Amino acid sequence: MADRLDPVLPGSYLGILGGGQLGRMFTHAAQAMGYKVCVLDPDANSPAGAVAEKHIQADYVDHQALKEMAACCSSVSTEFENVPAQALDELEALGVYVAPRSGGVSVAQNRVAEKKFLATWKAEAGIGPAPHFVIEHATDIDHVAADLYPGILKIARMGYDGKGQITVSNKEQLTAAWQEFGQVPCVLEKRMELDFEVSALVVRGHDDEVLAYPVAQNIHKNGILHTTTVPAPSLKADQEVKIIEAAKAIIRRLDYVGVLCVEFFVLKSGEIVANEIAPRPHNSGHYTQNACVTSQFEQQVRAMARLPLGSTKLIQSTVMLNILGDEWLVDGDRSEPKWHIVLKNHSAKLHLYGKAEPRQARKMGHINFVGNNPSEVDVACAEAIKVLRIQR
């Protein structure tokens, strides 16, 4: 086995668990640097499998498939948040350099562990989680403090894009919601008065170097990310410093190698709370593809290949607009959106994920609008929303 500190040089294979759009954009970034990519994903038509040199079509915990991956790749990462920790451990036991390792990934996979982690390191990070209470047994419901209502009951595992969440105002509603979730472990979180939402994208190299991208401001519609704007228009400079310091403390405490995203809420009171941790490149970091020196996907490649990290410098103002399947389904008839009109704006950069079937709320792509100042990119984004007849 190569020395742990030796880089994995271009020409080699890098492995990625998960074949969704994040894996596809990772694959493109790796290939641009001369790597080959091996994707493990059970779906025959996965977006990343379609562009990688090698696609192992199997379950994430298929021992044979993991062996095959280990034989091909000396370094493996994950794009799929809910990849079983067991798969990462198994690859590591086979001698593969796994970045991030299962310990950090599993904290982010489980809201109970995540809240506990955020609460434990609140003093060091300077920012903690929202007030919350863990519901694992029916009797826990009796011990919920009255001031957690109205709250949001969130399932501990597998929730995303606002799924697996129910707002509850009292004990009866909480009981009903927990039953609706099948009495699985959940976290009840106090509903906070949000002013706006931001996310911090950080990366840590194998040598403990930690870099942060500028903080991004996010707007969600129906629980799904709608736009990301950078620089964050509502964020004060001192708040940005505080958020970046918190995200850096979190990535270090998780002993995490790779790109990580932390979502934060800025409350009406001015207070900041940490919401959740995504153990991978993140939708709110897609702007880095066209607005920063190094994209989040290239950064993931560098971290897992034990190369020096790239500059996170922002070159231009940017707004990222998410493109959902709804854009193909306007007026009930299915048709390709008018990209040729959108692209009349020379600063619009279109990214589509190669998904054949546009379904409502399905992430199909995004557009990065880049420009010299925030108002220019806002106008460009608003025009595209009109052209695409986005109703959200």
Q: Which residue number, 263 or 298, has a Cβ lying nearer to Mg ion?
A: 263
DSSP 20: S
Q: Which residue number, 124 or 160, has a Cβ lying nearer to Mg ion?
A: 160
Alpha-carbon distance of 113 to 45, in angstroms, equals: 33
Alpha-carbon distance of 372 to 370, in angstroms, equals: 7
Q: For the segment 186-225, give every residue that binds ligand ADP (CB under 6 A).
A: 189, 191-192, 194, 197, 220, 223
Tokens 């100042």 -> residue = 373
Binding partner of 191, given Mg ion, ligand ADP, none, CB within 5-8 angstroms per partner class = ligand ADP
Binding partner of 220, given ligand ADP, Mg ion, none, CB within 5-8 angstroms per partner class = ligand ADP
Q: Which one of 275, 300, 312, 322 is in contact with ligand ADP (CB under 6 A)?
A: 275
Backbone angles phi, psi at 210, to 5 degrees: -125, 130
Instruction: Provide the mask over 95-134, with x wherever binding to ligand ADP is found by CB under 6 A and - wherever it is not.
Output: -----------------------------------x----
Alpha-carbon distance of 194 to 269, in angstroms, equals: 9
- Of 42-50, 151-159, 198-206, 355-363, the segment contacting ligand ADP by CB under 6 A is 151-159
CB of 263 to Mg ion, least distance (A): 5
Q: Which one of 126, 162, 231, 374 is in contact with ligand ADP (CB under 6 A)?
A: 162
Q: Does 90 bind ligand ADP (CB under 6 A)?
A: no
Pairing, β 75-78 against β 97-98: parallel
CA atoms within 13 A of residue 246's CA, in its CB half-sphere: 32
Binding partner of 83, given ligand ADP, Mg ion, none, CB within 5-8 angstroms per partner class = none
Of 331, 351, 382, the C-alpha closest to 288 is 351
CB of 227 to ligand ADP, least distance (A): 13
Of 270, 272, 225, 268, the C-alpha closest to 246 is 272
Q: Decide if 326 contacts 390 (C-beta within 8 A).
A: yes
Q: How many CB atoms lie within 10 A of CB 10?
A: 16
Residue numbers at the binding site for ligand ADP (CB under 6 A): 130, 152, 154, 159-162, 189, 191-192, 194, 197, 220, 223, 263, 275-276
